[in-house]
Amino acid sequence: MIYYIYADDKKEFIDGCKVNLEKVEVEYLPFSKIGELDVTRVSHFLVTGCLNEIKLLMGIAHQSDTPLGIITTKEQKELRKTFALSAKVEDAVKEALSVSEKKIDLLYCNGEIVLQEVVIGEAPPLDSFDSTLQGKSYLDRMKLFWQTIKRVKSLKHKHITLTDAKENTFKLSAVGLVGLEYYNNTFASKLVSSQLSVNDGKFSLVILSPTSIVQYMGYLFKSLVSYHTPKNLPKSVGYIRSSKMTIESKEKMEVLIDSTKRQITPIALEVKEKALALSAGEAFWERKTTYTYNNKDSIKIDHLPSDEESANYLSEAIPFFTHASKEQYASLFTNLREESRVSQTFMVLLILATMIATFGLFINSTSVIIGAMLLAPLMQPIVSLSMGVLRQDTSLEMNGAKTIAIGVLSVLITAALIALMIPIEHLTSEMAGRLSPTILDLFVAIVSGAAAAYAKSNDKILGSLAGVAIAVALVPPIAVAGIGIGWGDWSMFSTSFLLFITNLVGIVFAGAFTFAILGYSPLHLAKKGIAIWLVIVALVAIPLYASFSQMKEDIYIQKKLSNLAFNVGEHDVKLAHIELIHRTKIDEIRCEVISTGILSKAEKIVLKEVILKMIAKKARIIATFRYQL
C-alpha cells in the first residue's frame, strides 16, 4: 500500500495532487494522525510538508526500509534543487511514485536527520544558498558584500575540538562550521563540491576560520559580487570529510539544523550509509559521476589557526590585518636583529660593491652597476629599521640607523677617493641618470619597500630580494654623491644624495606598513611610527614634486623645439637633438642646428631670440651647427 503523508495545512495542495493519483491505490494520512500509521502495511511513502515533517517521515522510512518520494510545494525551491525534483505537480507525482533502486546516505546530528545543512556558530556566507544572488543587480550584490563584511567584523573565534571516526583529534580556532551531506547550492557546498557524494558514507564539514578581514574579503568579493566560485579553497576556509565527527568547544556554540532546529555544542554528526531509497531526480544521481571522490577520509585544515596564541588573539575579534604567530615573530626578529648590526661581512661586501659601482659609473656600464646592486647588503639594515619603526623597538631602530649611517659614510668616502684618483672628470649618462630624482622615484622606492618586507617575511621567496635591490638601486646614487664630493661639485652631491634619501624613506615607510599588514604589530603600536615616517615621506616629496614639475617642463620644451624649422634671414634652419641641462645660475639648452649655410652674427642672434621666445625663459644656448649641402 502506498501511503501519502501530508501536512494538515496542505489539504488544498493534496487535492491538486489527487488528480494525478486517481489510477493508483493511495492511503492519505495527515501528520496529525501519524501515530496511527502501521508501517508494516506500507510499501511506499509519499510526503508533502515542512522540512521537519519530511525529516520525521524520512526517519520512519529509514527504520522500516521503505522507499520514499517527496512532492514539494511551490515555496520549497531549495529542497527541490537539492534533490533535483520536478516543479510541475504532474511530473513531481510521477517522479515520487517511481521506486528508486539506489539509496542515499542520511546525515544525523545528535540523532536528528540533517536534510540540507547543520551550522555550528556563524559562517557567513557559507551557510547561505546561492539563490540569494539571483535577480540581484551589481549594486545589490555590492550591498550584500558590505553587509557580510560587517558581520565578519563582529565574529569571534572559538576554541574547537574535532574527533573523527578513527578517534583522531583536531584542535583549531574557527568562527563557524557547516556540515552537509549533499550538494545543495549553498556557498559551502560549492567550495567542496568535489568532496560530496550521495551514497559514499561520508559527509563534509566546512570550517570558516578567517585570520583577518582582508584575507576573507577576496573570497567574499568573488562569491557575492562577481558570483564566481573560487577554484581553490580560500585561505580562510578548511574542510574535513568523514563518516562521523564529534564537535566540542570551550564556549558553547549555537547549532542550527536546516535553519530552524536550535541546539548547542557538543554535537555528534554521523552518516548512515545508503539508508533510504529516495525517489530523486536524475540530475541528483548524475552528480555522483560529475564530482570526483573516493571513500577515504580527507582533511585540509593545516592552514587554519590551531596554536593557543592565535586562538586567544582571534577570540577577542578578527583583526583587519593578519596577526603573525610567535614562531613567525621569533624567526624574523632574530634575522633582522642580526642584520641590523655592523659586521665585517657587511663592510667588506659594501665597499666591494661601491668600488664596482663607481668604476661602472665611470665606464658608463649598466651591467657592471647592476652587479654592484646585487652585491650590496645595504637593504638589510633598512628593512631592520622599518621593523624597528613599526614595533617602536628602540634597539632595533638605533642599530639599523647606525649601520645605515656607517654604510653610507663608507660608500661616500670610497667613491670620493676613487674619483680623486681617476684623472677623468666626465659626467657619463649613468651618472647623469641619478641627478634628477622625481616623485616617480619615490613611488618606485615605496613599492620596492613593500616587496622587500613581504619577501623578508616569507622564506620561500627570500631570493626575490635580489630583484628588489636592482629595482631600488641604493649604492649607485650614493656613489655618484661620493664622486660629486671628489670633484667638488655640490649640485651633483646634493641631487644624487636626494635620490638615496628618497629610496631610504620610501623603503622604511612601505616596509613598516607592509609588516603591519602581515600582522607583525598591533595597529595601536604601529600607528605612531608609520605616522612619523609618513610625514618624512611627505617632506621628501616636496623637492621631488618640484623636480617632477621641472621634468614635465623639460619634456614640453624638448617637444616644442624638436624639428622646429624657421628662417633666420638668408638661411633656413632646423633644430634637432634638444638637451636641457640645469645649472646653478642659468639653465643650458644644447641643440643641433641644421642650416642651409653658414649663419651670420645677426642670424645667430635671430636664432637665439626665436629659441628663447619659444621656451619663454632665460637660458644659455649652446648650438652645434651642421650644414645641409
> Which has the minimum average pLDDT: 4-18, 318-332, 443-457?
318-332
pLDDT confidence of residue 76: 93
Cα–Cα distances (Å) from 270 to 123, 196, 205, 242, 288, in that order, read 21, 15, 11, 9, 20
b/e code 418-448 from CB counts within 10 Å (16+ = b): bbeeeeeeeebebbebbbbbbbebbeebbbb
Cα–Cα distances (Å) from 253 to 226, 242, 250, in that order, read 32, 21, 9
Q: Name the DSSP class of 100.
A: P
What element of type H or E holds 467? helix 465-472
What is d(CA 164, CA 84) in angstroms, rounded to the nearest whole number?
30
Arithmetic mean of pLDDT, 264-279: 94
Higher-confidence residue: 334 or 509? 509
pLDDT confidence of residue 80: 93
What is d(CA 495, CA 474) in angstroms, rounded to the nearest whole number?
14
| pLDDT(356) > 90 | yes
Percent of the chain with pLDDT over 70: 94
638615496: which residue's cell? 500
What is d(CA 497, CA 107) in angstroms, rounded to the nearest whole number?
70
| pLDDT(523) > 80 | no
pLDDT confidence of residue 148: 85
| pLDDT(292) > 50 | no
Arithmetic mean of pLDDT, 333-346: 88
Arithmetic mean of pLDDT, 571-583: 87
pLDDT tens string 455-470: 887 766 655 666 666 6
Percent of the chain with pLDDT over 90: 54
Calculate Rg over the CA atoms of the chain.
37
pTM of the full predicted structure? 0.68
pLDDT confidence of residue 361: 95
CA-closest candidate to residue 473, choices 348, 346, 370: 370
pLDDT confidence of residue 410: 96
Q: Are strands 68-70 and 278-279 parallel, antiparallel or unpaired?
A: parallel
Of the ranges 256-265, 282-291, 346-355, 446-455, the best mean pLDDT one: 346-355
State the number of CA atoms in the 13 A half-sphere of 597 facing the CB: 8
Average pLDDT, the chain: 88
| pLDDT(34) > 50 | yes
pLDDT confidence of residue 368: 93
Q: Which three cell numbers stand for residue 83?
A: 534533490
| pLDDT(491) > 90 | no
> Which has the minimum average pLDDT: 122-131, 326-335, 477-486, 607-616?
326-335
pLDDT confidence of residue 53: 94
> Which has the minimum average pLDDT: 170-184, 226-240, 439-453, 602-616?
226-240
Where along the chain do its domains lie?
2-99, 112-316, 326-547, 562-627
| pLDDT(218) > 70 | yes
pLDDT confidence of residue 583: 74
| pLDDT(289) > 60 | no
Cα–Cα distances (Å) from 33 to 12, 24, 469, 496, in that order, read 18, 22, 80, 92
What is d(CA 225, CA 222) in angstroms, rounded to the nearest whole number?
6
What DSSP string describes 400-464? HHHHHHHHHHHHHHHHHHHHHHS------HHHHTTS---HHHHHHHHHHHHHHHHHHH-GGGGGG
What is d(CA 266, CA 601) in angstroms, rounded to the nearest whole number?
101
What is d(CA 550, CA 555) in angstroms, rounded to the nearest whole number?
9
What is the pLDDT confidence band of residue 585, given thresholds at 50, 70 and 90?
A: confident
What is d(CA 321, CA 244) in angstroms, rounded to the nearest whole number?
35
Of the ranges 82-96, 124-138, 328-342, 443-457, the best mean pLDDT one: 82-96
pLDDT confidence of residue 290: 43
pLDDT confidence of residue 461: 62
Tally Cβ neighbours within 10 Å of residue 19: 10
Q: Tell me the CATH architecture of domain 2-99.
A: 3-Layer(aba) Sandwich (3.40)
558581520: which residue's cell? 151
Arithmetic mean of pLDDT, 369-380: 89
pLDDT confidence of residue 133: 83
| pLDDT(153) > 80 | no
Contact 359, 418 (CB under 8 A): yes
Burial of 192 per CB tally in 10 Å (0-12, 13-18, 19+) = buried
pLDDT confidence of residue 197: 87
- Determine the straight-line distance between the first and last CA of the chain, rounded to whole angstroms: 114
| pLDDT(293) > 60 | no
Contact 303, 95 (CB under 8 A): no
Cα–Cα distances (Å) from 78 to 71, 178, 331, 594, in that order, read 13, 17, 50, 81
Higher-confidence residue: 214 or 250? 250
pLDDT tens string 189-208: 988 988 888 888 999 999 99
Residues 6+ apart with CB under 8 A from 416: 482, 483, 485, 486
Arithmetic mean of pLDDT, 61-76: 94
The matching CATH number, chosen from 3.50.50.60, 2.40.10.230, 1.10.1740.10, 2.60.200.40, for 112-316 is 2.60.200.40
| pLDDT(291) > 50 | no
What is the pLDDT confidence band of residue 103, given thresholds at 50, 70 and 90?
A: very high
Q: Which three cell numbers stand for residue 81?
A: 534543487
What is d(CA 387, CA 509) in angstroms, rounded to the nearest whole number?
10
Of the ranges 53-67, 154-168, 455-469, 534-548, the best mean pLDDT one: 53-67
